[in-house]
Amino acid sequence: MAPPRRAAAPPHSTKGWLSRCRRPPRNRKGSSRRAVDPLATMPDDLLFDAIFSLVFSDAGDVARCAAVCRRWGRIVAAREAAILRALPPPDRFLPHLALGFFHGGQHDLSSTRRRQLAAQAQTDPCFVPTPSASVLLGSPFPGLPEGGDGGGLFHYARPVASRGGRVVFELRRKTRADGVALSVCNPMTGDVALVPPLAGDDFPGHDYMCAVLTADDLDNDAQQGSSFFSLVLVYNRRSFTALRCYTSDDAGGGGGWGPEFRKPGTQISGHVLQRLGPAVVLRGVVYWPIMVAAALAVRLDGGAAAAVMDVHVVPYTIRDTLPDWRLLGTTPDGRLSYVSAGLMGGELLSFGVETLDVSAAAGAEWERGDTSVLTQLTVPMLSKFELKMRWLGEKSGTLFFTIGEGCSTSGAFAVNLATGSVDKLADGVECNSWRSLYGYEMDPTALLASIAARFN
């Protein structure tokens, strides 16, 4: 039965990471040397029109333009909403959107007892920043927003999904193990929304997968605000696999959990369900790398009804890849991508990309793309190589992965598939045992807001 159609708790808004954005250093007091602005006599509106028509092709151009000087930064910050509406879809990845990843510790959460031990050992989700995030937000790195309850909201929480500037956390208390309570957080702005819990007959269990969608993902005429989000859960009942959707209150119809949807065909095994990996969203369809030979595709109704419209599978070209050695992603031109790991020459770690035009007619085939070879990471011949591909940014093209034993170095890494740059974010074989690891990309609105914070 459907849970009561009560509204979610009112969203909290506390200081987010944007409040930590560093401002550029000012000239020393008394210094008379200042850069000469050749456009100083031009009115702001006229200057903005000239800049926008010439150089703004994506959010990266906006950031570079705003960094020219304080005046240009103020002009961009004052017209943030107009810029976002007018920008065309990006034609390339934006690596600077990836700020790092969250993880929930090293514990096996397959039983209630283990979940209780995990809660006692680790109080808050950990965040590991990228070098660019440390520059933007300073050090030490800020924690999660308090959530309006004195800072205890995210104690014992674990991340379960991350997309579009939002992170979904399962809120876990040592005394509550008979339900699932979720919270959707935008760390950059500090906005936190509490989702009505699923308990009793509606309890999906703790072995479920979650995806989060924003207003930009759904193609409909509803006037959804920037705080709109939708959730999709995949979980098992006794004899079948079920799906359920949630829409936030500003969806135009009150929001809430929709009815349970029974997946056609055979049930997904519990072992496979635990290793689905993160979802990606393309044209309102959620994709999970559910099997070694195909992806699970879930289409929503696109409105406020919180209902699943269709479920089908998308076959891969490359089959029999280990679950930890492949991820799904998207390309800037709107194609679905399949990224798999391999060993070039038997000893160099590489990531190959294939893409599929999901908007084409039935029968479209995967096309092979570029392969990124990481010369910094070598694998000795015949060694036991432990690799886990964790999360791939849809907007940044940044892949987070961890390496245990069997390589020249172990730890947590970030590689950008567009630029080939590699950063080591954490050291140690224990990184490969981290559970619930999800990357975080700030959305374009937060990017421009970070610019505004630097010039206010």
Residues in a beta bridge with 146: none
Band of the pLDDT at 188, cuts 50, 70, 90? confident
Helix, strand, coil share of the chain (percent; to 5): 20, 35, 45
Cα–Cα distance list, 89 to 93, 233, 283 (Å):
11, 28, 13
Note the pLDDT of residue 33: 44
Written as one letter, the residue type at 106 is Q
Report H helices in 203-333: 270-274
Considering only CA atoms, give the Rg of the chain.
Answer: 23
Whether residue 53 has pLDDT greater than 60: no
What is the mean pLDDT of the segment spanning 352-363?
A: 85
Nearest-CA neighbor of 153 among 163, 162, 143? 143
* Token output for 75: 């002009």
Which residues of 321-451 form beta strands (DSSP E)? 326-330, 336-344, 348-356, 367-378, 387-392, 398-403, 411-416, 422-427, 438-441
pLDDT in tens, 300-347: 876 555 677 789 889 887 766 788 999 999 999 899 999 999 988 878
CB 174 within 8 A of CB 120: yes
Domain boundaries defined on the chain? 9-15+92-316+437-455
Max intra-chain CA distance, the chain:
76
- Any idea which residue has 């954005």 for tokens? 21
> Looking at the whole model, is its pTM more than 0.85?
no
What span, in angstroms and rounded, lies between the C-alpha atoms of 166 and 434?
21
Strands 182-186 and 166-170: antiparallel
Report H helices in 10-86: 44-55, 59-66, 70-78, 80-86
Indicate left, alpha or beta for 190 from its phi (over 0: left) and psi (-120 to 50: alpha).
left
Whether residue 66 has pLDDT greater than 80: no
Strands 198-199 and 191-194: unpaired
Note the pLDDT of residue 318: 73
Whether residue 19 has pLDDT greater than 70: no
Among 164-178, 191-205, 397-411, 442-456, where is mean pLDDT lowest? 442-456
Cα–Cα distance list, 242 to 6, 139, 162, 279 (Å):
22, 43, 21, 16
What is the mean pLDDT of the segment spanning 358-368?
A: 82
Question: Length of the chain in residues, anyone?
Answer: 456
Note the pLDDT of residue 123: 65
What angle is formed at CA 373 by the lines to CA 368 and CA 377, rounded to 5 degrees? 145
What b/e sequence results for 277-305 when a residue is b if at least 16 CB atoms lie within 10 Å of its CB, and e otherwise? bbbbbbebbbbbbbbeeebbbbebbbbbb
What is the mean pLDDT of the segment spanning 81-108?
A: 77
* Token output for 282: 């393309």
Helices (runs of H) and strands (runs of E) counted in the chain? 8, 27
pLDDT in tens, 71-87: 777 777 777 767 766 76
Q: Which is higher by pLDDT, 350 or 45?
A: 350
What is the mean pLDDT of the segment spanning 398-427?
A: 92
What is the mean pLDDT of the segment spanning 163-182?
A: 83
Angle between helices 444-455 and 59-66 (to 10 degrees): 0
Note the pLDDT of residue 379: 83
Neighbours of 374 (CB within 10 A): 17
